[in-house]
Amino acid sequence: MLTENDMPTSLDNIISDISSRKGTYWFFWVVASIPVIIGSSLFIYGIYDIHHELMVGGVSVILGYLPIYVLWKRVKKSEEQLQKIRINTRAMLNSEHNLIIQHNVEGHILGANHATAKRLGYNDEELLSLSFWDIEEKGILKRRKDFQLQLSEGEGISYQAEFRTRTGDYIPVEINTRVADWLSSPQLVTVARDISEWLQTENDLEASRKSLERARNRLETRVHQRARELKRQIHSRERAEKDVNELREFLFAMIDSMPSVIIALDKSNHITQWNHQAEMLVGISAEKATGKRLGELIPELEPHIRQIADKLMIEQYPYSQRLEIDISGKSYVLDLVIYTLNTAVTEGVVVRVDDVTEQVKIENMLVQTEKMLSLGGLAAGMAHEINNPLGAILQSSQNLRRRLGTKLPRSRKIATKLKLDFEIFEQYMEQQNILGFLNTIDEAGKRAAVIVEDMLSFARPAGAEEQDLDLEEIIESSVRLAQNDFSSKKKYDFRNIKISKEYSNNIPHVVGRRSRLQQVFLNLLTNAAQALADTTILDPKIELKLYKKYHYVVVEVQDNGKGMSERIRRRIFEPFFTTKSESSGTGLGLSVSYFIVTEQMNGEMEVDSHVGVGTKFTLCFPISKDSLRYNKPHSAVKNSEEGEQFELPLSK
């Protein structure tokens, strides 16, 4: 692109020098005319005095015209050089691809090169009749006071605008304007570069590289041409080459800083470009990777790329595909985009690889969350529907117990009317264990009511405000929910696990949200049950402890399962980290629990585990400032043996 710095300064000096010398030559012309005039006078005088002055006059004429002739030849040679320079300069500007316009401050166009007229669709006469503001309709230069101030101070300005063509189309251009200070009148020279193609292909890296190569070639060509014409253009060429190298380094740095893996391959599948992300993925530097076949470094990708590359050679449009592959023993989900690479020196393809493994996990998690939300709504609806017949069952059981007894006068009246002996009837009910069946119905109905209440409590969305929470009640509710969590697909069953509980008396309340805290305990209980299901121990056990320590309430959840290694223990709270299969877990349960305890409740959570011994999770919750201590006596520690039914404290 021809900018204001690219104007031939040496040419300006030559023209100025010739112009100044031309005035000097005319001065010498006048001075030299004096002996001519004198000689002519002497020559005329010599006619009258032919004997004495004839020879003197002739010599004076010859001596007078000789410097005039020499000065005339020099002036003529200077004018020819000036005309040749003007023609060469005009030809050079007309051969320039950029749009070069000379105009005054008011915007009237005084001149332009052929590229300007051709690109805008005008002929020379039409172009000279227009104003610069007819082409650049927004008038950025006219409206920007800071631009006008820079021009007045002799500085050049650069900005982007649009030129309007004769057909009404608009061409995006990059404009460089400066004052033509080598001219006598105030005029501006604007060099505009058409950036249409650059704007269309700025996101296409290969197109940018090709554009860079073309720009460099044009620049080098112009520098060589000017070097042949003007020796003093060497400095401009060196500066331009430096800019190109810096731009090339910038592009390489930009490619290396991209989060995507960028790999360029030639037709034989050899690597020609290997960015920093590719180094991070494979562990091989660009220096070592360049020139090698892709199959040597990433054999898992080569079959897919070769198949797609064959299609690209025919169809010539980008191709994208999502792959699930293993690289260096690690599973990845990759978005693969391949498009053709055609330059003057090579042909091949460009491969862009994006690691979307975590994104896919999040998407799957969102889908699972939506399912859980739907299941929560369904559970709430089912609980409501179950409560109605459950209430009828419990009420009917109570009515049967009352009507089968002897306390109601109406029952005695009907028995007397039917001549029924109550003592014999009571013996009949006792031998048939009818009252025992009614008691079983009452107990089962109440247990079902508690389960429904716990389901509604867990499915009910958390309120916006935090409240004082009774940890013992929430743990008990979580245990009841966990004990009713059964499925043929799951390998664990809480009914086969011994649950031991040790609760201290008068445990203070903590501040938090019930549903979230219940989610923490359910996660810990479920993980413990899964750990016990994977072992062959004969006495699976989960121990729950609740006690106060300093200003904290401490909860311990311990199992005697298989335990975990130190490497796994260090990563157990990381999001998406799981030792289970993808169908069994997402790796978010413990990380979410850790976030709830530490971030939302300002508590602490840690894990201690030994292989073959078991795992213990310890949770510390700060005591509520307004906590009310329990004054009621706490019941003794309760144990549940395998298959044994026991009463739990209920909370309505």
As beta bridge partners, residue 337 has 320, 352
Would the pLDDT of 537 be above 80?
A: no
Q: Residues 62-79: what's their mean pLDDT? A: 74
Own/partner contacts of 242-247, CB < 8 Å, gap of 24 or more, are: 244/212, 244/215, 244/216, 244/219, 247/212
**End-to-end CA separation in angstroms for the chain:** 81
Question: Which of 514, 509, 516, 477 minimizes the C-alpha distance to 596?
Answer: 516
- The mean pLDDT of the chain is 76
Q: Find where tokens 């300007």 sit.
A: 116
E strands of 151-296, at which residues? 157-164, 170-179, 187-194, 261-266, 271-274
Higher pLDDT, 486 or 328: 328
Query: Structure tokens of 358?
Result: 């975590």
pTM (global) more than 0.75: no
The SS3 assignment for 630 reads coil
Q: Residues 586-604: what's their mean pLDDT? A: 81
Q: Residues 586-613: what's their mean pLDDT? A: 84
pLDDT band at 460; cut points 50, 70, 90: low
In order of 106, 150, 282, the CA distances from 103 in angstroms are 8, 17, 58
pLDDT tens digits along 86-139? 677 777 777 777 889 988 888 889 888 888 888 889 988 888 888 889 898 888
pLDDT tens digits along 229-240? 877 777 777 888
pLDDT tens digits along 197-212? 888 777 677 777 887 8
pLDDT tens digits along 159-218? 999 999 999 899 999 999 998 877 767 789 999 988 888 887 776 777 778 878 888 888
pLDDT tens digits along 467-518? 888 999 999 988 888 877 654 445 567 778 889 999 999 899 999 888 888 8
Would the pLDDT of 595 be above 50?
A: yes
CA–CA gap between residue 31 and residue 187 (Å, rounded): 37
